[in-house]
Amino acid sequence: MADPAFGGDPIRSILAAAGASGTWDWDIAADRLAVDERFAELYGLSAGEASALPPSMFFKAIHAADRARMRIAVAGMIAGAEQFSKEFRIVAPDGTILWVHGRGQTHFDESDQPVRFTGLLVDVTARKRTEERLRVAQSTGGVGTFEYSDGFATATVSNEFCRLLGLYPAEILPVPTINAVLKSKDEPPLIPESHRGGPPETLDHVFCIVRNDDGAERWIARRGEIVREGQDGGYRLIGVIYDVTATKEQEAALRDLNETLEARIEQAVAERQRIEEALRQAQKMEAVGNLTGGIAHDFNNLLTIILGNIDTATRRLDSDADPRARRALENALKGAERATSLTQRLLAFSRRQPLAPRAIDAGRLLAGMSDLLTRSITETIAIQVSSSPGLWTVEVDPNQLENVILNLAVNARDAMPDGGALTIDASNASIAADASSDVPAGSYVVISVGDTGTGMAPETVAQVFDPFFTTKEVGKGTGLGLSMVYGFIKQSGGHVQIRSALGQGTTVALYLPRLYRESEALEDDVRIGAERGTLAETILVVEDDDDVRAYTVGLLRELGYRVTEASNGFAALKLIEANDQPISLLMTDVVMPKMSGSQLVDAAQQIRPELKVLFTSGYTRDAIMRDGKLDTDVDLLSKPFTYPVLAAKVRDVLDR
């Protein structure tokens, strides 16, 4: 490939490639310069004039930028310096610029006076270009080179090599000086010395160094080749180094980012798992609620039959009947009543118990419970029941509230196996809008039940309202107590707060919303009596369960009413339309297939708007329920019901 620097002259290119050289002989004493043919050709001189030139001719072809430098160098030689070794540019006659290496020496006479200056001019343009390219590659690429020969104490290095390590530029550096920049002396050496035994396996490595000039810590990568020479295992290491600090830092930053990303993902996943867990718990509770609600409904139907029939059997017993039979029936009644109470609790937990809230004075309710509490709680526990004067009225199902308070009192008792104090208190509380409370702003009557017992750890407190969570031994608690409390209070529009710490006792506060309605006439307890009916009063009983229907019809007839019956809404409507006997009261189950109780009532009241209605239900989350409370103008008889309750309710509705 012809080098453009040689202007396409093939002979010159070949000569240059061969390192063509010319010689000179400068006679200092005679002040005359003689050059050979090749020198003359480089300088564009004719062969004839080459033997007797004025010495200034030596500088004629030298590039202007190098001329002063060469004049100084030659002046040194003429004045007695011995060694001459300079690289400079000459401008050939055709304008081509060549790099040449002049190598010369001075000859002295006996009195040490310089007499001749002779030398050799070698065209080094090709080498110079290569060096230039290498230098530019090194400086712009930030790559330093090194070469180390097995057995030597020094390495040949480039300026860029020194710069990268913060060393003063040098061509040759002792190996210990180079290796001293390593941050850790335990690292493999930058230049592995041969006394470490044989050549290294590879030159690929990344080092952490402390730059010698500014003390900066940098990462330096080394790459290279191991050149084996001779047969005695000798070798040379030829390689490069370059700074990889930025890459290392980016790697570290990326790794950092990755690590925090993992942490962030873990956090998000944990949060998601927590939410999923909560959702699963809610779904489970919903499913359990549906199941228990359904079971309770069926049980209530069955219990209605059982209770009703025990009731009937008991009433039919003569006074001289076998006392064992009477006792057996009494026991059966007790068992059925306990079963009733259990289904009631299941309904409360599933928040599907029909509540009958009434305006009450909580203080009076507490006072009425004193006896019951004293009997339920062991003597080692001091009971104090109090209520602030001027308590506001609340609207709540009093029977259920009593249950709840009793439940809490029993829990308190169980938390104080070695005795203590149980405090039950009712007071007014106004929560401000800006108060940092779990309880929304408003006016409340607070019933608090506190003990001085073992208390609970925060993680236990967090779980106490979960259904089936119990701290009691297996078999001792249902785990439904506090969740029933929670369900009931929530259903009543209130809030529950629990404060507890290990060894500090527990206080449960029930916040019941204040009732603003006129409350001068607080309702009395349900009247209980067996009011009878007459044959002039016809009651239509609609019930899909044949046994329950038969039992209900039997009771009503016993009470003296005229009774007609239907097993579904359509049959009932036909009877109402037919109007053979004017119907005084429609008594219907709420949950029935095809036509529900409320649909039936709607249709019936289209025909007879004044028709009186009594719903019966063991399972009431239906149209007659609004926010878990009965519509005020709807009458509901909860299954299972007993003879006197049925009698009183029917009479009550008919007499309005």
Partner 1 sequence: MNSPDLTLDDLERDALTEIVNIGVSRAASNLRKMIGGEVLLSVPSIDVVSQRRAARLISEREVTELVAVRQGFEGPFSGRALLIFPETNSLELVRAVTGGELSAAEVVEMEVEALAETGNVILNSCLATMANMLKRSLTMTVPEVLRGTGASLFEVDESASSEGLVLFLYIDFAVRKHDIRGYIAMIMDIPSLGILKELLDEFIARVVGDDG
What is the closest distance, in whole angstroms, from the C-beta atom of residue 4 to partner 1 in the complex?
29
Burial bucket for residue 549 (CB in 10 Å: 0-12, 13-18, 19+):
middle
Half-sphere exposure of 158 (CA within 13 A, CB side): 21
What is the closest distance, in whole angstroms, from the C-beta atom of residue 146 to partner 1 in the complex?
15
Kindly tell me which residue out of 18, 72, 474, 578 binds partner 1, with binding defined by CB under 8 A.
72
Nearer to partner 1, 173 or 573 (CB): 173
Cβ-contact 39, 23 below 8 angstroms: yes
Name the E strands within 131-233: 143-149, 154-157, 172-174, 205-210, 217-229
Please report, as residue ranges, which positions from 196 to 215 form the binding site for partner 1 (by CB under 8 A): 212
Nearer to partner 1, 177 or 300 (CB): 177
What is the closest distance, in whole angstroms, from the C-beta atom of residue 76 to partner 1 in the complex?
3
Please report how the helices 323-349 and 481-491 are oriented relative to each other, as an axis angle in degrees rounded to 10.
Answer: 70
Which of these ranges, 104-112, 217-225, 240-248, 432-440, lies near partner 1 under the rule CB under 8 A? 104-112
Kindly tell me which residue out of 170, 227, 410, 429 binds partner 1, with binding defined by CB under 8 A.
170
Q: Which residues contact 529 (CB under 8 A, 6 or more apart)?
A: 644, 647, 648
Tokens of 546: 């044949």
Please report, as residue ranges, which positions from 210 to 269 form the binding site for partner 1 (by CB under 8 A): 212
Tokens of 371: 């006896």
Q: Residue with structure tokens 């003359």? A: 40
Nearer to partner 1, 86 or 608 (CB): 86
What is the closest distance, in whole angstroms, from the C-beta atom of residue 27 to partner 1 in the complex?
19
Nearer to partner 1, 74 or 563 (CB): 74
Kindly tell me which residue out of 177, 300, 304, 552 binds partner 1, with binding defined by CB under 8 A.
177
Q: Shortest CA distance to 211 belongs to which of 247, 255, 241?
A: 241
CA distances from 410 to 318, 374, 378, 416, 422 (A): 41, 11, 10, 10, 10
Which of these ranges, 74-82, 254-262, 447-455, 597-605, lies near partner 1 under the rule CB under 8 A? 74-82
Which of these ranges, 163-171, 327-335, 444-452, 608-616, lies near partner 1 under the rule CB under 8 A? 163-171
Q: Residue with structure tokens 């009731």? A: 311
What is the closest distance, in whole angstroms, from the C-beta atom of residue 75 to partner 1 in the complex?
4
What is the closest distance, in whole angstroms, from the C-beta atom of residue 117 to partner 1 in the complex?
12
What is the closest distance, in whole angstroms, from the C-beta atom of residue 168 to partner 1 in the complex?
5
Write phi, then psi, for 158 (nearest 5 degrees): -100, 165
H or E, element range at 404:
helix 398-414
Tokens of 62: 């030298």
160 Ramachandran zone, left/alpha/beta (phi>0; psi -120 to 50): alpha
What is the closest distance, in whole angstroms, from the C-beta atom of residue 235 to partner 1 in the complex?
23
Q: Shortest CA distance to 512 belongs to which of 454, 463, 456, 443?
A: 443
Cβ-contact 597, 590 below 8 angstroms: yes
Nearer to partner 1, 37 or 82 (CB): 82
Under rule CB under 8 A, residue 106 binds partner 1: yes
What is the closest distance, in whole angstroms, from the C-beta atom of residue 89 to partner 1 in the complex?
15
What is the closest distance, in whole angstroms, from the C-beta atom of residue 208 to partner 1 in the complex?
20
Under rule CB under 8 A, residue 159 binds partner 1: no
Nearer to partner 1, 84 or 643 (CB): 84
Sheet bearing 562-566, strands edge to edge? 562-566, 538-542, 583-589, 612-617, 636-638
DSSP-derived pairing of the beta strands 21-27 and 114-123: antiparallel
CA–CA distance, 119 with 77 (Å, rounded to integer): 11
Under rule CB under 8 A, residue 31 binds partner 1: no
Kindly tell me which residue out of 82, 94, 217, 262 binds partner 1, with binding defined by CB under 8 A.
82
What is the closest distance, in whole angstroms, from the C-beta atom of residue 104 to partner 1 in the complex?
12
Binding to partner 1 by CB under 8 A, coded x per residue (else -) over 39-68, reads --------------------x-------xx
Kindly tell me which residue out of 5, 34, 81, 571 binds partner 1, with binding defined by CB under 8 A.
81
CA distances from 318 to 313, 315, 326, 642 (A): 10, 8, 10, 20
Which of these ranges, 165-173, 227-235, 237-245, 408-416, lies near partner 1 under the rule CB under 8 A? 165-173
Under rule CB under 8 A, residue 75 binds partner 1: yes
What is the closest distance, in whole angstroms, from the C-beta atom of residue 171 to partner 1 in the complex?
10
Kindly tell me which residue out of 1, 10, 95, 112 binds partner 1, with binding defined by CB under 8 A.
112
Kindly tell me which residue out of 61, 167, 336, 377 binds partner 1, with binding defined by CB under 8 A.
167
Nearer to partner 1, 117 or 349 (CB): 117
Kindly tell me which residue out of 17, 79, 325, 372 binds partner 1, with binding defined by CB under 8 A.
79
Kindly tell me which residue out of 176, 188, 198, 294 binds partner 1, with binding defined by CB under 8 A.
176
Under rule CB under 8 A, residue 71 binds partner 1: yes
Nearer to partner 1, 108 or 516 (CB): 108
CA–CA distance, 29 with 113 (Å, rounded to integer): 10
Binding to partner 1 by CB under 8 A, coded x per residue (else -) over 115-154, reads ----------------------------------------
What is the closest distance, in whole angstroms, from the C-beta atom of residue 152 to partner 1 in the complex?
12
Nearer to partner 1, 33 or 424 (CB): 33
DSSP-derived pairing of the beta strands 583-589 and 612-617: parallel
Q: What is the DSSP string of 66-117?
A: HHHHHHHHHHHHHTT--EEEEEEEEE-TTS-EEEEEEEEEEEE-TTS-EEEE
What is the closest distance, in whole angstroms, from the C-beta atom of residue 189 to partner 1 in the complex?
14
H or E, element range at 566:
strand 562-566
CA–CA distance, 31 with 247 (Å, rounded to integer): 63
Binding to partner 1 by CB under 8 A, coded x per residue (else -) over 589-608, reads --------------------
Burial bucket for residue 415 (CB in 10 Å: 0-12, 13-18, 19+):
buried
- How many of the chain's residues bind partner 1 (CB under 8 A)? 27
Which of these ranges, 78-86, 122-130, 531-539, 622-630, lies near partner 1 under the rule CB under 8 A? 78-86
Kindly tell me which residue out of 44, 69, 252, 253 binds partner 1, with binding defined by CB under 8 A.
69
Strand partners, 638: 617
CA–CA distance, 265 with 276 (Å, rounded to integer): 16
What does the binding site for partner 1 look like in residue numbers (CB under 8 A)?
Answer: 59, 67-69, 71-73, 75-76, 79-83, 85, 106, 108, 112, 167-168, 170, 172-174, 176-177, 212
